[in-house]
Amino acid sequence: AQRPSQQETHIHYAQLGTDVTLLCGSVDQDAAVTWTANSTDLDASHLNGSRLVLRNVDLSHSGQYTCYEGPSWHVKYRVNLRVGLPPKEPIVMCRSNNYPNGFYCSWHLPSPTYINDTFNITVVHDSKEIVCKKEMPPKNRCYIQFLQVFSTKKYKVTLTASNPLGSSSTTISFDEFAIVKPDPPENVVAKPVPNNARRLLVSWQYPSSWPDPDSFPLKFFLRYRPLIIDQWQHVELSDGTSHIITDAYAGKEYIIQVAAKDNDIGTWSDWSVAVHATPWTEEPKHLTTEAQGAETTTASTSAFVVPPTTRLSDSDVTDR
């Protein structure tokens, strides 16, 4: 049916699984009308007089519905149906990875709503509301500058998620120290130590996001293991950004990671990117045949033997 004309498009929101009745604008209940869904004619079974009735709607019902009034069959009403859900309780998390400058809060919904949601966040500390500067991408994050540091007063963050089908909010409260979590150390490098078959030199840098290493020094946690063993070995270092592993198995490739934490407060960072290295091994000498024969016998007896204390287990790597 050719029914040209421009007509304002209305928006109608409906909750998933409900029945929806669309009115043809202001026409009488018993006026002669026809409806299309995304330009496809809908048969009369969906009509209740001039109203369109959609049962137990799902996401596929979303779309543009147009009503045409007879006998000229001109467009009488156009409506965009959006099927979705009201937001569930949002999940909000706040963290300071650049202490003592400030902290950011980020949030997400536990399940999709399929329609546009808006979020409103309020941050209160010492009975004063503090501005949380929205960051463009990512959309669901904002940043708060510390106006005071070393405060025992709690921060209270309330996040409200809303859409045309409903709203829901979450409130969390926390201490300043509790949310301090640096980013992982950067530029981790592991190298063999020449002429030392059991050593590896590991070095790393402070996370670039950590603003004042001098006054807010970090401590580090190093974990390392040969690829063929599941059990990590750990060492904690209260300063410095390098360490020499002195008990590496000769000739075995190692995987190494580092984590960081403020010396006194907060929690450990995530593990850094893993790096691999194999301790130094002696260059094979170019031997005459007899010497080579003797050498081969000796070589076979000094194959890699796992010290009794080290347990070979398939269990996951247990964090520190």
Q: Kindly report the length of the chain.
A: 320
Dihedral sign of CA atoms 167, 168, 174, 179 in order = negative
Which is nearer to other proteins, 134 or 311 (by Cβ)?
A: 311
Q: What one-character DSSP code corresponds to residue 180?
A: B
Q: What one-character DSSP code corresponds to residue 138?
A: S
Token pair listed for 105:
């809060």
Q: Does 216 bind other proteins (CB under 8 A)?
A: yes
Which is nearer to other proteins, 49 or 100 (by Cβ)?
A: 100
Applying CB under 8 A, among 38, 195, 238, 289 the residue interacting with other proteins is 238
Measured distance CA(143)–CA(124) in Å, rounded = 13
In 3-state terms, what secondary structure has residue 260?
A: strand
Q: Does 151 bind other proteins (CB under 8 A)?
A: yes
- Minimum CB–partner distance for residue 145 and other proteins (Å): 11
Q: Does 264 bind other proteins (CB under 8 A)?
A: yes
| Nearest residue to 38 via CA among 66, 69, 11 | 66
- Minimum CB–partner distance for residue 310 and other proteins (Å): 8
State the binding string over 95-124 for other proteins (x if CB under 8 A, else -).
-----x------------------------
Query: Which amino acid, 310?
Result: T
| Nearest residue to 198 via CA among 275, 295, 304, 298 | 304
| Measured CA angle at 246 (ends 243, 247), to 5 deg | 130
Which is nearer to other proteins, 72 or 238 (by Cβ)?
A: 238
- Minimum CB–partner distance for residue 249 and other proteins (Å): 13
Dihedral sign of CA atoms 67, 70, 75, 77 in order = negative
Applying CB under 8 A, among 72, 215, 288, 318 the residue interacting with other proteins is 215
Phi, psi of 295 (to 5 degrees): -60, -40
State the binding string over 158-197 for other proteins (x if CB under 8 A, else -).
-------------------x--------------------
Which is nearer to other proteins, 177 or 268 (by Cβ)?
A: 177
Applying CB under 8 A, among 41, 236, 270, 319 the residue interacting with other proteins is 236
Site residues for other proteins per CB under 8 A: 100, 126, 147-154, 177, 214-217, 233-240, 263-265, 309
